[in-house]
A and B are shown apart, each in its own frame.
Chain A
Amino acid sequence: MRRGFRLNFEPVKILTDSQIEAIHRASLDVLEKTGVKFESERALKLLEQNGCMVHYDEKIARMPPSLVEECIRKTPSSFSVKARNPKNDLRIGGNTLYFMSSAGARYTDVETGEVRMATMEENDQAVLISDALDTIDFFPSYTPYFEIDGVPPVMLCPTSLASRIRYTSKASRGAQATDTYIFETQLAQAVDMQLVGVCEAAAPLSYPEDAINAAFEYAGAGFPIYIAAGSVMGGSAPVTAAGATISNNVELLAVVVLIQCISSGIGICANDFVTPMDMQSGGFLFGAMGVNLHQMAFNQLWSGVYRIPTVNTGAAFSNSKLIDYQSGYEKTHTAMASALSGANIIVLHGGVTAELAYNPILSIINDDVANIIGRTIEGFEVNDETMAVELIEEVGPVPGTFLNKTHTRVNWKKEYFVPEVADRLSYQEWLQQGRKSAIDLARERMKEILESHHPDPITPAQDRDIEKILEDARKHYRKKGLM
């Protein structure tokens, strides 16, 4: 099982108990009076059987508070995920922090920021590089590219999962696009791994049919489910952090109810993907301060009060078009706020240009960021050895030094984190060694990984099964007239 990082102190609380109570009460009120739209007869029937008030014409289910709170209690505070290699199994929840790779529609050129469609080879290489990065515990659907040259859009998700199965033995999330969940479930089962299924709302207060079908399919396979309700503040959610917290809460609690009605006790992790809207362009502001406020409130409520594991996507993308200062600070401040407030999964590595682009060089730099954040929340040990009182007395004032002490030699590696690609040379050495930046160093590390890293192989029989499932998917989509 992957260790991840462990939060060693009380998570930072951005809300008072009274504010938490007000938000929870308001969420129950909206669920009971306004309800949530489910574009699925099957879901509405199931919810009705479990005590919801259902209006079939409007496709709305109104949920009694007792049912909502019962379903929160039924959802476990942590759950396991079986990866292709047991060393990469996950236990999501509790005080554990995992990092998940980010993604992007296209490949971005590091020098110019121009984006273009990635090739299949670039996609496979990006997965292999992420397999080698120690802080990537988990992969989202369609990682890393949302578009691959030569792959019909409808085949993207199964093709992407096949690439992840071949080039990494780490855990993956499934996707919910049209019928993909059928083939992704089969692909996972062919290599004896679980996916984390998915069910994503269409804010405000709605679940499309694909999302609901995906939830039924993945839950039926015994997979835990990753729920999400991305919204934009001022557009599909109120512009205020408190209002957006409530509408997002309603969307997520409604699907917790649905999933617990499908399969009682099933593991769920809830993703927060709410961003402020740019009031000039209408675009998403991924690295904005408002993301921090929302995610911190979300973590306090879901991890802390509901005891349902949390995912934060705020650090997944930056609005910067380049791997530069802005992408560095936007990702780091959002990821740090998430970690300090008790997120269980932070989506971080590699995404830039809003959701438009990805580059593995940024993933390699973000690997250092993830280690710094993870090591920070683990805190430090305070005991006789680390307090070093006798040593402080022995060394005394100047000219005393700690540098020539065994205590320094033995302990510094345990206490420090040494980044893989940060430039820490002296100025003169930096000049002599070709003025390399972190990006140059990351490029060198990428080359090393591509030359030396070998993911855990699959068997030839598993490879044939994967090809057959992909062929079945192509036939299915052709028959449906989708390709």
Chain B
Amino acid sequence: MAGSTLEELKQIVLDFDMDKAEAVAKQAIAEGADPLECARALTDGIREIGDKFGTGELFLPDLVCASEVVKNALPPIISEIEKQGKERKTLGKVIIGTVFGDIHSIGKSMVATLLFAAGFEVIDLGINVKSEDFLGAVREHEPDILAMSALLTTTMMEQKNVIEGLKKEHLRDRVKVIVGGSPINQEFADSVGADGYGATAPEGVKVARKLLNKSDKGGG
């Protein structure tokens, strides 16, 4: 019984079934399924989608829609985890956002979704994020990684501003910094003092794992 409930949770992700997501999750909890197992079933589903996106079998709308399913299904499961006093294991916590002056969201959202699919906890600050908001979020959430996106040559220097801000506030050694976006390359990442750079969204995930010494398998 519990097995088939967990299978169904995974299946709604694979079926991109956003409408059913919340009801299936609530049903699973009502039937007494282990909420940690429920969360893992969703993560298994989104990881499968993420892998297929990485190999070119699936596309951006598939990835984003599958992640919507997880977003819709997760709240009743998380609240049950908290109610039972349990703790959800993740690969680590990532804060992500597109820098100030830049309103491009698609690349950043792809990375956020793939990080989530890989088993990270992701806090997405959105687009046009001011330096002080990145710093405030780092202070508040104490993430393992800060990931910043910039799509314009005019906004890429904002990534440097944030890193300088981290230094000034004595936060730099408490968080790893990843930068990305189409004008960014490894040379730029090194020059602004970032810890990592990924040319593509799947590479961004690899870099995140590497920085936290996590293998390519497992998590969730």
Q: Chain B: how many interface residues by the 8 Å CB criterion? A: 20
Binary CB contact string for chain A from 416 to 460 against chain B (1 if under 8 A, 0 otherwise): 000000000011110110000000000000000000000000000
Contact yes or no, A432 B16, CB < 8 A: no
Say if the beta carbon of A409 comes within 8 Å of chain B: yes
Say if the beta carbon of A325 comes within 8 Å of chain B: no
Say if the beta carbon of A408 comes within 8 Å of chain B: yes
Cα distance, A408 to B60, chains bound together (Å): 10
Cα distance, A401 to B61, chains bound together (Å): 11
* Partner of A428 from B61, B64, B127, B182 at Cβ < 8 Å: B182
Residues on B with beta carbons closer than 8 Å to the beta carbon of A401: 105
Residues on A with beta carbons closer than 8 Å to the beta carbon of B62: 409
Contact yes or no, A406 B200, CB < 8 A: no
Say if the beta carbon of B135 comes within 8 Å of chain A: no
Say if the beta carbon of B65 comes within 8 Å of chain A: yes
Contact yes or no, B65 A429, CB < 8 A: no
Residues on B with beta carbons closer than 8 Å to the beta carbon of A429: 199-200
Contact yes or no, A403 B199, CB < 8 A: no
Say if the beta carbon of B2 comes within 8 Å of chain A: no
Say if the beta carbon of A404 comes within 8 Å of chain B: yes
Cα distance, A408 to B62, chains bound together (Å): 9
* Partner of B61 from A399, A409, A432 at Cβ < 8 Å: A409
Cα distance, A404 to B62, chains bound together (Å): 8
Who on chain B is nearest to A432 by CB? B199
Say if the beta carbon of B68 comes within 8 Å of chain A: yes
Binary CB contact string for chain B from 193 to 220 against chain A (1 if under 8 A, 0 otherwise): 0000001100000000000000000000
Known contacts A403-B60, A412-B59; A428 and B65 CB within 8 A of each other: no
Say if the beta carbon of B185 comes within 8 Å of chain A: yes
Residues on A with beta carbons closer than 8 Å to the beta carbon of B61: 403-405, 408-409, 412
Interface of A is mostly: helix
Cα distance, A401 to B103, chains bound together (Å): 13
Determine how close the nearest CB of chain A comes to the CB of B15; give it in whole angstroms: 11
* Partner of A406 from B59, B65, B106, B184 at Cβ < 8 Å: B65
Contact yes or no, A405 B182, CB < 8 A: no
Determine how close the nearest CB of chain B comes to the CB of A425; give it in whole angstroms: 9
Determine how close the nearest CB of chain A comes to the CB of B206; give it in whole angstroms: 13
Determine how close the nearest CB of chain A comes to the CB of B126; give it in whole angstroms: 8
Contact yes or no, B199 A428, CB < 8 A: yes
Say if the beta carbon of B192 comes within 8 Å of chain A: no
Cα distance, A405 to B61, chains bound together (Å): 8
Say if the beta carbon of B129 comes within 8 Å of chain A: no
Say if the beta carbon of B123 comes within 8 Å of chain A: no
Contact yes or no, B199 A426, CB < 8 A: yes
Cα distance, A403 to B109, chains bound together (Å): 10
* Partner of B64 from A403, A431, A432 at Cβ < 8 Å: A403
Who on chain A is nearest to B200 by CB? A429
Cα distance, A431 to B184, chains bound together (Å): 13
Binary CB contact string for chain A from 377 to 402 against chain B (1 if under 8 A, 0 otherwise): 00000000000000000000001010
Contact yes or no, B64 A404, CB < 8 A: yes
**A403, A406, A431, A432 — which one has the most chain B CB atoms within 10 A of its CB?**
A403
**A403, A404, A406, A431 — which one has the most chain B CB atoms within 10 A of its CB?**
A404
Say if the beta carbon of B18 comes within 8 Å of chain A: yes
Cα distance, A423 to B91, chains bound together (Å): 35
Contact yes or no, A426 B16, CB < 8 A: no
Determine how close the nearest CB of chain B comes to the CB of A451; give it in whole angstroms: 19
Determine how close the nearest CB of chain B comes to the CB of A427; give it in whole angstroms: 6
Residues on B with beta carbons closer than 8 Å to the beta carbon of A399: 105, 126-127
Determine how close the nearest CB of chain B comes to the CB of A133; give it in whole angstroms: 21
Q: Which 6 A-B pairs have the closest CB atoms?
A: A428-B199, A409-B61, A404-B64, A408-B61, A409-B65, A404-B68
11 chain-A/chain-B pairs, Cβ below 8 angstroms: A399-B127, A403-B106, A405-B65, A406-B16, A409-B65, A412-B59, A426-B199, A426-B200, A427-B182, A428-B182, A431-B199
Interface residues of A (CB under 8 A from B): 399, 401, 403-406, 408-409, 412, 426-429, 431-432
A409-B62, A426-B200 known; 9 new pairs, CB 8 Å cut-off, are: A399-B127, A403-B64, A404-B61, A404-B68, A406-B65, A408-B65, A426-B182, A428-B184, A428-B185
